[in-house]
Amino acid sequence: MKILGIETSCDETAAAVVEDGIKVHSNVIASSMDLHTKTGGVVPEVAAREHLKQINPVIDEALEKAGVGWGDIDAIAVTHAPGLIASLLVGVNTAQALSYLYQKPLIPTHHIAGHIYANFLERSEPIQFPILVLTVSGGHNELVRLKGHHEFESIGETLDDAAGEAFDKVARMLGLGYPGGPIISKRAAAGNPAAFNFPRVHLDKNNRYNFSFSGLKSAVLRQVENLTKEGATLRRAQDHSRLLSETDINNLAASFQAAVIDVLSDKLVAAAEAFDVKEVHLAGGVSANQSLRQAVTEKLNDRLPLCMPQKLIYCTDNAAMIAGAAYFCIKNTGSL
Ligand code: KG4
Ligand code: ZN
């Protein structure tokens, strides 16, 4: 079964054609990130207007690259939530119009289910349930037990910021621009992770599998202020960052990243040991982080199979994951 996936929940306009939830025939992504880099974050109105410009050409390109016409498409899947409302509306309205025009079933798909199903794209080994998934993205941070297809059990979540959001905000404090994850990890590679002892918040036993990153973010801000002599007279974090040396920035990035990764990997591995699971998965934009991948691999130490998206483009927002999640939803419910 070939599904056309459409994803417009944030700043990526994406369309893909995926067969049986695994075989990716095309995966087209037009990003408006350059526009948001200038503003230091996504401006919802700007993102929605870019989606409007891009959506039709991106869908056409996805069909063309897959070498298929509308007659070959069995269903249309579209992200319906969560996300920026104006951005979601562009994708949903387009999908509804195409579904009506070409008489194709429409499958509304949850964005985080999409991130979870990104791990099955191009997978050749059989799937072994239950699976423990750590979803870490800009807006989402959750530990989920996948008992069977589309049977999600939430084990823990963030009580404040998501890990990706913390990466983005700290990058802003350090004057590194948006999005924060890739540039922080690059600068961290040149820094000392032990330069600053930032808090690792593990929370009390009732919150053993929940996360909190707002205290860490404040600790980085206080350190930035301490490192900049004129700190007291400056109002905005971005102004401080201009006074930091390159070494300070690298060390702050490395120490911050180490603190986030310690918490994420500790909690994931502890949950893998405490719950009955046969596989462990990393999903979402932050799962592109090589140090996180390495830390989880080392701490898990081959006790359970570890699965991460096959390609880095499947970590961040894309439409192949939406088509994949929709396929397994149909397979699970047995209906279109
Ligand atoms: O999944 P995603 O594309 O969008 C959301 O659903 O939020 O995730 C985007 C997030 C951003 O916060 C970005 O900074 C983070 O993923 N990210 C990373 C890396 N690449 C992207 N964080 C850490 N290290 C990376 N290499
Ligand atoms: Zn996402």
pLDDT digits (tens, 9 = 90+) for 9-64: 999 999 999 999 999 999 999 987 777 777 777 889 999 999 999 999 999 999 99
The pick from 31, 133, 286 for probing ligand 1's pocket by mutation, whose C-beta has the most ligand atoms within 8 angstroms, reads 286
Q: How far is the CA of 31 from the CAs of 108, 162, 265, in angstroms?
A: 22, 22, 30
pLDDT band at residue 237 under the 50/70/90 scheme? low
Residue 283 and residue 152 in contact, taking contact as beta carbons nearer than 8 Å = no
- Residue 106 confidence (pLDDT) above 60: yes
What pTM was computed for the model?
Answer: 0.94
pLDDT band at residue 289 under the 50/70/90 scheme? very high
Position 31 scores a pLDDT of: 83
Position 33 scores a pLDDT of: 75
Which among 260, 256, 250 is positioned nearest to 295, based on CA atoms? 260
Pocket of ligand 1 contains residue 114 by CB under 6 Å: no
Model confidence over 148-199: pLDDT tens digits? 999 999 999 999 999 999 999 999 999 998 899 999 999 999 999 999 999 9
Pocket of ligand 1 contains residue 54 by CB under 6 Å: no
Position 111 scores a pLDDT of: 97
d(C-alpha 5, C-alpha 59), whole Å: 9
- Residue 232 confidence (pLDDT) above 60: no
Pocket of ligand 1 contains residue 5 by CB under 6 Å: no
Position 38 scores a pLDDT of: 74
**In a 3-state reduction of DSSP, which class is residue 79?**
strand
E strands along 59-209, which residues?
A: 75-81, 106-110, 131-136, 141-148, 151-157
| Gap from CA of 180 to ligand 2 centroid (Å) | 15
Residue 18 and residue 2 in contact, taking contact as beta carbons nearer than 8 Å = yes
| Nearest-CA residue for atom 13 of ligand 1 | 181
Q: Average pLDDT of the chain?
A: 94
The pick from 87, 141, 316 for probing ligand 1's pocket by mutation, whose C-beta has the most ligand atoms within 8 angstroms, reads 316
| Gap from CA of 336 to ligand 1 centroid (Å) | 32
| Gap from CA of 167 to ligand 1 centroid (Å) | 8
pLDDT band at residue 5 under the 50/70/90 scheme? very high
pLDDT band at residue 123 under the 50/70/90 scheme? very high
Pocket of ligand 1 contains residue 168 by CB under 6 Å: yes
Position 203 scores a pLDDT of: 87
Classify each residue of 128-139 as buried b or exposed e, where b means 16 or more C-beta atoms within 10 Å of its C-beta. Answer: eeebbbbbbbbb
Position 317 scores a pLDDT of: 96
Position 40 scores a pLDDT of: 75
Pocket of ligand 1 contains residue 139 by CB under 6 Å: yes
| Gap from CA of 23 to ligand 1 centroid (Å) | 24
With a pLDDT cut of 90, the percent of the chain lying above it is 85
Question: Which domains, from first to last, does the chain contain?
Answer: 2-123+313-333 (3.30.420.40), 131-309 (3.30.420.40)
- Residue 116 confidence (pLDDT) above 70: yes
Position 316 scores a pLDDT of: 96
Which among 153, 120, 164 is positioned nearest to 281, based on CA atoms? 120
Ligand 1 atom nearest 178 alpha carbon: 14
